[in-house]
Copies of this chain bind each other. A is one copy, B any other.
Amino acid sequence: MKPGDHEPMRHTLRLRRLGIDTYRELVIYMRSDCQVCRSEGFEAESRVRVSLGSRAIIATLNVVTGPCLLLPEEASLSEAAWQALGGREGAEITLAHPEPLESLGYVRAKVHGKSLDDSAMRAIIEDVVAGRYSDVHLAAFITACAGDHLGVEEMVGLTRAMIDTGERLRWDREPVLDKHSVGGLPGNRTSLIIVPIVAAHGLTMPKTSSRAITSPAGTADAMETIAPVDLDIAAMRRVVERESGCIVWGGAVRLSPADDVLIRVERPLDLDSEGQLVASVLSKKIAAGSTHVLIDMPVGATAKVRGAPAAESLSRSLIAVGQALGIEVRIARTDGSQPVGRGIGPALEARDALAVLQGSPGAPADLRERALELAGQVLELAPDVASGRGRELARSLLDDGRAWRKFQAICAAQGGMREPPRAPHTHTFAATRRGAVATIDNRRLAKIAKLAGAPSDPSAGVDLHAPLGLEVTAGDALFTIHAAAPGELAYALAYAEAHPGVIGIVP
């Protein structure tokens, strides 16, 4: 047998959709007795290159041993793989062994304490974006970079690689302002107020935001209850050109797509990783074309940043990496001890933001104050707003209705404003004794909101009536659970009953 006679990697199977959702992991299902498994020596947990037309993915092989799911000449894909490949029922796919994953050598070097230069980071992130890393490889990379294992130079390299492997927006104006919250604080939905304030002043703020990862709502989830958010790049650009600002979902515009891949594995690991946090935040902002960004960093025992040393280290890294990549970063350290506003959940948070924008008498004062403070700092990032004058400017833009009119115009430009939905099922928990609210467990409140159905049911969540320090008597409302279905309400209720210390009251 002569080498070169062979096209060893060419085998075909017919696609059949089974509809198995593995979250975002790319999986291919093949019969163990199919021609390809037998002749190529694929076995369970192998990585397989799958191509259809001009598209190709690397998927993890799951072998189907039973007779009931697939014919020997058929293969199926997990839903994520189906989408990545652009699958069609009955289409012919081609299978091959994937190329060796050379960039794993850099991951190993990192484990051994070596520093990774720009080209190493680039090689890793290109493979990540192309879907060549399995979950196990992703977890190793994330772990190797976690803690304080990345130096500033490596963070710069990682951030740059994440920018370069996605789309990048460019604007023909300056400054382009942005704002990001480090997270971990339920209900902190200030962006919906800040963007229209800044845009009403004529400054550019094209905000791309995320959907919830582990929280009951992301900014994109809340905004979506008021207006469409999944605009493509062209549509987003039209909105910003007309109204100076937008609030859209970042996932649809493919800015820093590596971040979306890494986050999926970071989530179950729940590892603190300063380097990855910096790269995640700044890659999205720089790819969105921002020139200045304000980072809202809530600090508190149950927030993401738990104390001053962590806040200082993270701030230094954000500023240094921003400087290296040409974006000005300003940090606003804020109170992370309790939720902001009252609502926790997409529609409930949207309602709070709308109340602030409309100047309603019942609008949550803490959300208004925090939004004004942050909006003021964003405004001061622009050269024409004097230091110390931003907050006052923000207040006048909000109080005279310009921000509210701008918000309505942005919603119209994004596809039309709508009313956030209301949940048909609610249950209010009341205080059982007199006292003052001394503690609020952010994590458990978020959990109750999620059990009630947030964010997938946009109307679901929790309405908090009792902020820290409030004096209550027995029977006073502490919080209300909102749910779209009785079963979900019951489930959230049961959890809340089982954890009575969510709101701690001391006599």
Contact = CB atoms under 8 A, between A and B. Distances in A.
Interface string A187-201: 000000000000000
A8 B490 contact: yes
A137 interface: yes
B485 A268 contact: no
A41 B6 contact: no
Interface stretch (A325-333, A344-352, A449-457): A449-457
A488 B456 CA distance: 47
Interface in A429-488: 450-451, 453, 456-457, 484-488
B68 A19 contact: yes
B496 A19 contact: no
Interface stretch (A32-40, A170-178, A283-291): A32-40
A62 to B, nearest CB: 5
Number of copies: 2
Interface string A143-158: 1101110000000000
Given A69-B19, A490-B6, A491-B41, A270 B104 contact: yes
A62 B21 contact: yes
Given A136-B268, A147-B112, A488-B38, A493 B1 contact: yes
A265 B60 CA distance: 13
B45 A264 contact: yes
A134 B268 contact: yes
Contacts of A35: 487
Contacts of A495: 8
What bracket does the count of chain A residues touching chain B fall in?
A: 35 or more
Contact of A108 (B4, B45, B271): B271
A21 B494 contact: no
Chain B CB within 10 Å, residue with most, of A19, A41, A146, A271: A41
A64 B136 contact: no
Given A21-B44, A39-B491, A40-B491, A136 B135 contact: yes
A139 interface: yes
A45 B68 contact: no
A430 to B, nearest CB: 12
Interface of A: 1, 3-9, 11, 17-25, 29, 32, 35, 38-41, 43-45, 47, 62-69, 78-79, 97, 104, 108, 111-113, 134-140, 142-144, 146-148, 264-265, 267-272, 425, 427, 450-451, 453, 456-457, 484-491, 493-498
23 contacts: A1-B486, A1-B490, A3-B490, A3-B493, A17-B66, A19-B67, A21-B32, A21-B44, A22-B44, A24-B45, A40-B485, A40-B491, A41-B450, A62-B78, A97-B491, A108-B270, A112-B272, A136-B136, A136-B268, A139-B140, A139-B143, A143-B143, A143-B144
